[in-house]
Amino acid sequence: MEKFNCKIANQIDLVHYLETLGHEPSKIKNQDYWYLSPLRNENTPSFKVNQKLNLWYDHGSGKGGNVVDFGIEYFRCTVSEFLQLLNGNSISSGISLSLKNENRQSSSLRIANEKKDNSLDKIIIVDVRTLENKQLMTYLDNRSISQEIARHHCKEVDFSLNNRKQTAIGFQNISGGYELRSEKFKGSSSPKDITFIDTQAKSVIVFEGFFDYLSYKMMNQKSVDLQTNFLILNSLSFFNKSLKLMEKHERVDLYLDRDAGGIKFTNQALQGGSIKYTDQSFLYDQKKDLNEWLNQEQQVKRGHSFRRSI
């Protein structure tokens, strides 16, 4: 897929994009989708998206615009930073973003098929069970995660998407939705939310994705006295919304990705005036995330073991 520029970014279907960020409409009237504002706290939905025009307007703040305008407000970043986030796929969590294509079908046909298309696009969970699938186990091994660790924290999930059944590793969030991963699929079921593992500790470790959490568990298998809570964001879009939860702790260790989005939010926390926050991403400097670093370490160990055996 070609890289996102402003023109391409503004073709992203805003309704579908909001869904990937975990926001569902409170009501739908014709082409107008009404949400509780994703930009601020409110109890009455006043954030409107006109799907035909692909434009948004927040009646509470008086702001509105296109997809790029929304992105820089939502992530509190510059236009170039937002495009970097899109190109790095750290916002969309690997979900293919629907691009509007006026030449593909007429507006009337789009409206007629809207309800049908939306139901097909949704991930429907069919079954949840203990991890056993051999292909998923191979995928975990390729990412340096043991079966024991994975079985303890994840499930094997059957789901339907576009009338096609698939199986993936599932990591549940606090609202009952799942982050879904396999060698060929990366996405999430609704509702999308954070995962918080509460051990009643005074410190919390924050990860962007659950494979980083599993990597941390792999690295600390022998540390039986880990007195800490764990917060897995499952999307950077939940960082600001999770600040109140983080602030309840005396210490917050950040293990965010070493990309534009992760660095931005890490710096935002460090520069916020609180001494609670510590950037731990220096541990995997030059790598995108903790799992990538762990993968390299395991490959080096395997290489040393192979050389000793010959």
Q: Is the pLDDT of residue 20 over 50?
A: yes
Q: Is the pLDDT of residue 123 over 70?
A: yes
Let me know: does 188 contact 181? Beta carbons within 8 Å: no
> Which tokens belong to 114?
């809207």
Q: Is the pLDDT of residue 240 over 60?
A: yes
The pLDDT score that the predictor gives to residue 110 is: 40
Q: Calculate what percentage of the chain has a pLDDT beyond 90.
A: 53
Q: Is the pLDDT of residue 91 over 60?
A: no
Residue-wise pLDDT for 139-197, tens only, equals 999 999 999 999 999 999 999 987 889 999 999 999 999 999 998 888 888 888 999 99
The pLDDT score that the predictor gives to residue 303 is: 61
The pLDDT score that the predictor gives to residue 304 is: 54
Domains and CATH numbers, the chain: 6-121 (3.90.580.10), 124-188 (no CATH), 195-292 (3.40.1360.10)
- Measured distance CA(46)–CA(35) in Å, rounded: 6
Sign of CA dihedral 288, 294, 297, 298: negative
- Measured distance CA(54)–CA(11) in Å, rounded: 8
Residue closest to 210 by CA, chosen among 221, 197, 227, 226: 197
Average pLDDT for residues 87-116, to the nearest whole number?
A: 43
Average pLDDT for residues 111-116, to the nearest whole number?
A: 41
Task: Verify cis geometry, omega within 30 degrees of 0, for the bond prior to 191.
Answer: yes
Q: Please give, one letter per residue, the 3-state secondary structure of the chain.
A: CCCCCHHHHCCECHHHHHHHCCCCCCEEECCEEEECCCCCCCCCCCEEEECCCCEEEECCCCEEECHHHHHHHHCCCCHHHHHHHHHHCCCCCCCCCCECCCCCCCHHHHHHHHHHHHHHHCCEEEEEECCCCHHHHHHHHHCCCCHHHHHHHCEEEEEEECCEEEEEEEEECCCCCEEEECCCCEEECCCCCCEEECCCCCEEEEECCHHHHHHHHHHCCCCCCCCCEEEECCCHHHCHHHHHHHHCCCEEEEECCCCHHHHHHHHHHHCCCCCCEEECHHHHCCCCCHHHHHHHHHHHHHHHHHHHHC
End-to-end CA distance of the chain: 43
The pLDDT score that the predictor gives to residue 259 is: 83
pTM, two decimal places: 0.67
More confident residue, 115 or 298: 298
